[in-house]
Structure 1
Amino acid sequence: MPQSTSDRMTVEQLAERVGMTVRTIRFYAGRGLIPPPLREGRNGFYGPDHLARLELVRELQAHGFTLSAIEGYLERLPSSASPADVALQRTLLAPWLSDLPETVARDVLEVRAGRALSDDDVELLVALRVVEPTPDEDVFRVSPAHLSVGVAMIDLGLPLDAAVEAERLFESHAREIARELTDIFRQKVLPHYRASGESAEAITAMVERFKPLTVQALVTAYESAVNETKRETVRRRT
């Protein structure tokens, strides 16, 4: 994908943006995890595609993938995948990542965000739980896996009160769903597998395989409910 001049970064700027060292980026490039930079004379420039793929690499690392597993994962992505396509892969992984916040100064946060952040922007990121304030007003704890999503919400002009209310709604329902699913697993699923003589390791592996299925079931149910709500709204109007 051609890079616009405003999107171009040197390897040093890319390293600062993604929170890696230049040496690490060059190592990943040598292993084929990111495409070669765009060459202009002796200079190499990087763009959104490189940034998206490196963020996915970091996501996979946080998820416990080995380097060889990451290589295999990225090999299955088509070379034509856009930065948005790669970001979607990160979204699919993010719900099961441990919360691994970093503590950064505000100027570093802005570099990671790829833009200047007003006080209102920071307040929105706090409301979305992407950023947590610290006793030092210019230092924040940030969830790297979710920062790009938070910045996208800023760019869309999401009202702060809507973010606060949506977060409250999702959290309350998510906690209730989590409790009920845990009860089902403890009362029905776990006794079944224990009675079958499965080892603890096998049960653990089974639970891990259930995770993406659970996410997909929740997404499917939510999509179905949203579509039904739309249909009901249309019926009322007609």
Structure 2
Amino acid sequence: MTPSERLSVEQLAERVGMSVRTIRFYAGRGLIPPPVREGRNGFYGADHLARLELVRELQAHGFTLSAIEGYLERLPADATPGDVALQRTMLAPWLSDLPEAVDRETLERRAGRSLSDDDIELLVALRVVEPTPDEDLFRVAPAHLSVGIGLMNLGLPVDGAIEAERIIESHARAMAEELTEVFRVKVLPHYRASGEPPEAIAAIIEQFKPLTVQALVTAYESAVNETKRATIRRRT
């Protein structure tokens, strides 16, 4: 650890957005290595920073503390800060805007219209809006909300909208599982075998996300066009 990389526990806490007490608790549980001691002072570096950022990412995915401990235990003993950061990149959510809890007034303001109880029920059924234990709050992602409001504005029948959502959800989940397996088995090992540093692989993964989404959109558009042509051929 060079002098320029050394962070006090207070500086580390500020960098990762955690309290000093939380960092010391995590250190006591073995989630990060002990600080480097110089006399009575302890210093932290890039490895501590990368691991705490990974912990925060795992927490955002709803992992319990014991699950996070198990995940970190499976990291190679010689994992570099870049290797740990790569793990975080692969876990990072694909949505640009994460769901957040909002009250009804905020939900209506973001929707750009007033929402009746039936409207809320439809958005919940479409899984655009999620109820929370607090009856006055709803969890919603801006990108999901815009799609839900768009469907509502088209005046789609409720049963048709819900069935369409069910079909999209089931096929999207299947594609996500299969593509994730392809990435894990074939794509990531290829990049690692090429000798690319973890930082470069992380940058490639960030570019891979929007390209994959666009490929799925393009494939869907082509499939719809082919389906329409097939329907016309059958009718004629």
Shorter-chain TM-score range: 0.5 to 0.7
After superposing the two structures, state which structure 1 stretch, 223-232 or 144-153, moved more.
Answer: 144-153
Report what 1:191 is aligned to: 189
Report what 2:52 is aligned to: none
Report what 2:42 is aligned to: none
1:109 aligns with 2:81: no
Q: What CA distance in whole angstroms lies between the structure 2 residues aligned with 1:108 and 1:183?
A: 39
Report the residue type matching 2:140 in the other structure: V
Deviations 1:68-101 (A, max 9, x none): xxxxxxxxxxxxxxxxxxxxxxxxxxx9325622
Alpha carbons of structure 1 residues 136 and 186: separation in structure 2 relative to 1, 3 Å: closer
Question: SS where residue 98 of structure 2 aligns?
Answer: coil
After superposing the two structures, state which structure 1 stretch, 198-207 or 106-115, moved more.
Answer: 106-115
Alpha carbons of structure 1 residues 176 and 149: separation in structure 2 relative to 1, 3 Å: closer
Alpha carbons of structure 1 residues 112 and 201: separation in structure 2 relative to 1, 3 Å: same
Q: What CA distance in whole angstroms lies between the structure 1 residues aligned with 2:100 and 2:118?
A: 21
Report the residue type matching 1:226 in the other structure: V
Larger radius of gyration: 2
Question: SS where residue 226 of structure 2 aligns?
Answer: helix
- How far is the alpha carbon of 1:178 from its aligned partner? 1.4
- How far is the alpha carbon of 1:149 from its aligned partner? 2.5
Q: What CA distance in whole angstroms lies between the structure 1 residues aligned with 2:125 and 2:97?
A: 16
- How far is the alpha carbon of 1:218 from its aligned partner? 0.9
Q: Please, what TM-score do these two structures have when normalized by structure 2?
A: 0.56
Alpha carbons of structure 1 residues 182 and 160: separation in structure 2 relative to 1, 3 Å: same
- How far is the alpha carbon of 1:137 from its aligned partner? 3.6
Alpha carbons of structure 1 residues 107 and 224: separation in structure 2 relative to 1, 3 Å: same
Report what 2:90 is aligned to: none
Question: SS where residue 96 of structure 1 aligns?
Answer: coil
Structure 2 residue runs without a partner (length 5+) = 1-92
- How far is the alpha carbon of 1:136 from its aligned partner? 4.0
Is the 1:132–1:141 contact (alpha carbons within 8 Å) kept by the matching residues of 2? Answer: yes
Q: What CA distance in whole angstroms lies between the structure 1 residues aligned with 2:182 and 2:100?
A: 35
Q: Of 216, 219, 232, which residue of structure 2 is paired with 1:218?
A: 216
- How far is the alpha carbon of 1:212 from its aligned partner? 1.7
Report the residue type matching 1:193 in the other structure: Y
- How far is the alpha carbon of 1:122 from its aligned partner? 0.8
- How far is the alpha carbon of 1:165 from its aligned partner? 1.5
Deviations 1:127-147 (A, max 9, x none): 222211123444322222332
Report what 1:126 is aligned to: 124
Is the 1:128–1:163 contact (alpha carbons within 8 Å) kept by the matching residues of 2? Answer: yes
Question: SS where residue 107 of structure 1 aligns?
Answer: helix
Question: SS where residue 169 of structure 1 aligns?
Answer: helix
Report what 1:156 is aligned to: 154
Structure 1 residue runs without a partner (length 5+) = 1-94
Question: SS where residue 185 of structure 2 aligns?
Answer: helix
Is the 1:106–1:140 contact (alpha carbons within 8 Å) kept by the matching residues of 2? Answer: yes
Is the 2:151–2:161 contact (alpha carbons within 8 Å) kept by the matching residues of 1? Answer: no
Q: Which runs of 4+ in 1 moved over 4 A?
A: none
Q: % of aligned pairs identical?
A: 77
Is the 1:125–1:131 contact (alpha carbons within 8 Å) kept by the matching residues of 2? Answer: yes
Structure with more relative contact order (C-alpha pairs < 8 Å, separation 6 or more):
2
Q: What CA distance in whole angstroms lies between the structure 1 residues aligned with 2:137 and 2:192?
A: 48
Aligned pairs, number: 144
Question: SS where residue 228 of structure 1 aligns?
Answer: helix
Report the residue type matching 2:218 in the other structure: T
Report the residue type matching 2:95 in the other structure: L
Report what 1:228 is aligned to: 226
Report the residue type matching 1:170 in the other structure: I
- How far is the alpha carbon of 1:121 from its aligned partner? 0.9
- How far is the alpha carbon of 1:104 from its aligned partner? 2.3
Report what 2:164 is aligned to: 166
